[in-house]
């Protein structure tokens, strides 16, 4: 059997699975074209236009949902299986878009964002787990990288739909994606590892056969397949043996390695959010409207979404060549420069200077910030986090840092509009620029380079 045929079902499962983060990306981009409409006198809500405070809560409730989704997803995946957990994550998405269709007031939209955030929190925990347990080593990196790419594709689609279609039609279209996911993914078996963990040896073997391209009754299988089946059984025995070992203690969390790893993890999560890129993506159209750019705000957002996709792809290409640390430093410093110039343009405009000949500058600076952010700061902290954490506490530590990330995201999005009102466009961009610059200095001084190093070598370096 050819390698291409053996991987066909792995690609198929990954394609079906990525309808979830794709739909989550759509939600992240939904606020950009929708909030200006909801804030206007032409608001589709029966109660009329929403306030700036309510708009900030609509944006921030995504993070509240993500925080709770992150907390329960690990337990759900072990209790109900990876497949069922992923399917259950589609239900909040369906309910969420129904809430938009039937919305009578702003609370419907807050509920929608909470549900979609919850689904996103589950996605970012269960999808890497699912792919890691079905993929062959030779394509695991490729399949795993589709998560961020799918999110960015969803954001871009939302920008396009927001520019081309009326507000009321969009949720009807977006309702289709979780339904398509359920229709396709229900036919996909759960991961071989989870089924073996449930002591269902027959289903586990059949699942492995499916993902390696063998029919259930095929007797002529490769040596590699037989070795994988043996590894599954060995992993089950190892897991049962480890359950008898002592659980994580306070001392495990306070070793030199763990303390430094937590400092790096939390700091990278803070940089990921307080560099301002994620918050800016949620308010793209509003930013360009406030900046005075003569370009269409929604069209500018489409350009931004396309550039973000290119940046995230470039990150996967360069990460094993340039290294994590160098890309992170370049990314953070680049964001600081882009936002600093953006702040200068906005400040000059606020002083009444004629900047019409530079009306292209906001789009260029914003585009550059999102592009260079996607190369490092927006993508690589999660990889570094998994590499620097001690093995024994890795599961707990990653879940903890992801929870911190959702809290930071809530603060950044919730108070983004407040910063606009208090500091203005120039002050807000300057604040993000300073945060990014501080992040670049922290990475240069405290974050080790993990490229090409074994987990043992990284542990020794961290200690």
What pLDDT does 36 receive?
Answer: 85
**Average pLDDT of the residues of the chain:** 83
Q: What is the pTM of this model?
A: 0.77
Tokens of 339: 């936002």
Answer whether residue 346 shows pLDDT above 90: no
If you average pLDDT over residues 419-442, what whole number do you get?
91
What pLDDT does 441 receive?
Answer: 97
What pLDDT does 455 receive?
Answer: 66
Out of 11-15, 138-142, 159-163, 425-429, pick the least confident: 138-142
Q: Phi and psi at residue 191, in whole multiples of 5°?
A: -70, 145
For residues 234 and 232, what is the distance between their CA atoms, to the nearest angstrom?
Answer: 5
For residue 356, give the DSSP letter: G
For residues 243 and 368, what is the distance between their CA atoms, to the nearest angstrom?
Answer: 48
Tokens of 11: 């690609």
**218 phi-psi bin (left φ>0, alpha ψ -120 to 50, beta other):** beta
CA distance to 43, 201, 358, per residue, from 243 (Å)? 56, 20, 63
Residue 63 contacts residue 282 (beta carbons within 8 Å):
no
Answer whether residue 449 shows pLDDT above 80: yes
Count of alpha carbons within 13 angstroms of residue 141, beta-carbon side = 8
Answer whether residue 363 shows pLDDT above 90: no
For residues 85 and 21, what is the distance between their CA atoms, to the nearest angstrom?
Answer: 14
pLDDT tens string 267-322: 999 999 999 887 777 666 666 666 656 667 677 778 878 888 888 888 877 877 78
- Looking at per-residue confidence, does 232 or 242 come out higher? 232
Answer whether residue 393 shows pLDDT above 70: yes
What pLDDT does 266 receive?
Answer: 94
For residue 357, give the DSSP letter: G
């Amino acid at each position: 059997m050819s390698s291409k045929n053996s991987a066909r079902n792995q690609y198929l499962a990954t394609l079906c699975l990525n309808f979830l983060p794709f739909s989550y990306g759509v939600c992240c981009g939904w606020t950009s074209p929708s909030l200006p409409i909801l804030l206007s006198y032409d608001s589709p809500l029966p109660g009329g236009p929403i306030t700036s405070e309510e708009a900030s809560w609509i944006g921030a409730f995504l993070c509240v949902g993500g925080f709770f989704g992150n907390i329960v997803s690990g337990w759900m995946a072990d209790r109900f299986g990876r497949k069922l957990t992923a399917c259950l994550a589609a239900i909040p998405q369906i309910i969420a878009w129904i809430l938009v269709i039937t919305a009578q007031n702003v609370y419907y939209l807050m509920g929608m964002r909470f549900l979609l955030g919850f689904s996103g929190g589950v996605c970012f925990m269960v999808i890497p787990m699912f792919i890691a347990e079905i993929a062959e080593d030779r394509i695991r990196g490729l399949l795993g990288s589709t998560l961020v790419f799918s999110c960015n594709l969803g954001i871009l689609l939302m920008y396009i739909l927001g520019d081309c279609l009326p507000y009321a039609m969009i949720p009807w279209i977006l309702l289709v994606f979780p339904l398509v996911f359920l229709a396709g993914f229900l036919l996909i078996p759960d991961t071989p590892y989870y089924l073996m963990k449930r002591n269902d040896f027959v289903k586990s073997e059949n699942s492995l056969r499916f993902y390696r391209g063998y029919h259930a009754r095929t007797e002529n299988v490769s040596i590699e397949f037989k070795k994988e089946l043996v590894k599954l059984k060995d992993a089950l025995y190892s897991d049962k043996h480890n359950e008898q070992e002592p659980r994580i203690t306070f001392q495990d969390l306070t070793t030199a390695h763990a303390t430094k790893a937590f400092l790096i993890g939390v700091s990278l999560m803070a940089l990921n959010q307080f560099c301002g890129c994620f918050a800016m993506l949620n308010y793209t159209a509003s930013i360009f409207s406030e900046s005075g750019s003569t370009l269409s705000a929604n069209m500018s957002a489409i350009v931004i979404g396309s550039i973000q996709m290119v940046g995230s792809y470039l990150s996967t290409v360069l990460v094993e060549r340039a290294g994590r640390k160098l890309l992170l430093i370049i990314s953070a410093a680049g964001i600081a420069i882009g936002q600093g110039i953006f702040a200068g343009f906005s400040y000059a405009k606020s002083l009444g200077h004629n900047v019409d000949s530079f009306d292209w500058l906001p789009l260029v600076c914003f585009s550059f910030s999102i592009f260079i952010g996607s190369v490092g700061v927006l993508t690589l902290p999660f990889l570094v986090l998994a590499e620097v954490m001690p093995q024994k506490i890795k599961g707990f530590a990653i879940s903890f840092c992801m929870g911190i990330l959702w809290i930071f995201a809530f603060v950044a999005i919730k108070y983004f509009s407040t910063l606009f009102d208090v500091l203005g466009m120039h002050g807000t961009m300057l604040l993000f620029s300073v945060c990014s610059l501080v992040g670049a200095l922290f990475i240069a001084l405290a974050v080790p380079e993990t490229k090409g190093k074994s987990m043992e070598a990284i542990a020794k370096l961290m200690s």
